């Protein structure tokens, strides 16, 4: 029953128009049953071709590392709460989900809503870049804005040096007792961007922009403000996404 409810949210959510300059993003994680990954992919591809065209796009990502390895993330383009008031259910769409996809899913984390924070992001926010790394900072309760203030200092240092890194920051909405700040790093030139020496070390950029003492303050702030951190690698699946 829990999966059915979440699938209703997932598949109904696409039925409203999107406009530019919106910052609300929603997505869902789906993990195929063991031994049914290929069948799941085929069903998802067919479903998206049928129901998610250019006016109702979805982007599909596959997680390739960490505890969520093998899970697929389906994300909708930025929108707003006002747009969601115009959501229009499609019974044929829901029926297709129930008959072709749901039986192949082992688990889902449900719909997640997050807000893009442009003031602390750096880069072009291109969702179609093939390789990305997702870092989730589980921030201590009441400390999200304090942590974002530190994240902004990095953005300012990168901006001032025209650093080529490309990343977007989001905050998880309705996070309850687990506030989260999410960093999506996009590697236009591939995983080699993760190699030591590919970029100027972050510490060097930060200390040059501010000071060595402030770097130490940042490390202390991390311990004071962040409960834990998780990271995983993700690839964009254009073959499963809207065309």
Residue whose tokens read 């870049």: 129
Yes or no: say if 163 and 199 are a contact pair by the CB < 8 Å rule.
Answer: yes
What pLDDT, on the 0 to 100 scale, is given for residue 21?
61
Yes or no: say if 225 and 180 are a contact pair by the CB < 8 Å rule.
Answer: no
The torsion angles phi and psi of 17, rounded to 5 degrees, stand at: -80, 155
User: Tokens representing 219?
Assistant: 């490390």
> The dihedral of CA 191, 193, 196, 201: what is its sign?
negative
Domains observed in the chain: 2-113 (3.30.70.100), 118-233 (3.30.70.100)
pLDDT digits (tens, 9 = 90+) for 188-239: 999 999 999 999 999 999 999 999 999 999 999 999 999 999 999 999 999 9
Within 10 angstroms of residue 120's Cβ, the number of other Cβ atoms is 23
What pLDDT, on the 0 to 100 scale, is given for residue 5?
33
What pLDDT, on the 0 to 100 scale, is given for residue 204?
98
* Separation between Cα atoms, residue 57 and residue 52, nearest integer Å: 5
* Separation between Cα atoms, residue 183 and residue 118, nearest integer Å: 12
What pLDDT, on the 0 to 100 scale, is given for residue 16?
39
User: Tokens representing 128?
Assistant: 């179609």
What pLDDT, on the 0 to 100 scale, is given for residue 11?
42
Low pLDDT (below 50) residues in the chain = 1-20
What pLDDT, on the 0 to 100 scale, is given for residue 3?
45
């Amino acid at each position: 029953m829990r999966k059915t409810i979440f699938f209703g949210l997932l598949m109904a959510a696409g039925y409203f128009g999107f406009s530019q300059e919106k910052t609300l993003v929603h997505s869902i994680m789906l993990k195929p049953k063991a031994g049914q990954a290929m069948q799941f992919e085929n069903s998802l591809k067919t479903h998206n071709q049928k129901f998610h065209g250019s006016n109702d796009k979805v982007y599909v990502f596959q997680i390739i590392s960490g505890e969520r390895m093998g899970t697929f993330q389906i994300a909708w383009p930025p929108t707003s709460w006002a747009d969601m008031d115009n959501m229009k259910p499609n019974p044929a769409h829901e029926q297709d989900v129930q008959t072709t996809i749901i039986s192949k899913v082992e688990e889902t984390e449900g719909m997640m809503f997050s807000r893009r924070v442009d003031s602390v992001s750096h880069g072009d926010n291109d969702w179609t870049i093939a390789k990305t790394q997702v870092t989730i900072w589980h921030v201590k309760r009441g400390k999200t804005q304090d942590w974002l203030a530190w994240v902004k200092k990095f953005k300012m240092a990168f901006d001032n040096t025209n650093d080529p890194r490309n990343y977007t920051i989001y905050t998880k909405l309705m996070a309850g007792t687990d506030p989260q700040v999410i960093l999506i790093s996009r590697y236009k030139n591939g995983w080699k961007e993760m190699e030591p020496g590919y970029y100027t070390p972050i510490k060097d950029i930060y200390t040059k922009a501010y000071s060595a003492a402030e770097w130490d303050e940042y490390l202390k702030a991390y311990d004071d403000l962040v409960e834990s951190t998780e990271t995983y690698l993700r690839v964009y699946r254009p073959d499963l996404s809207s065309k």
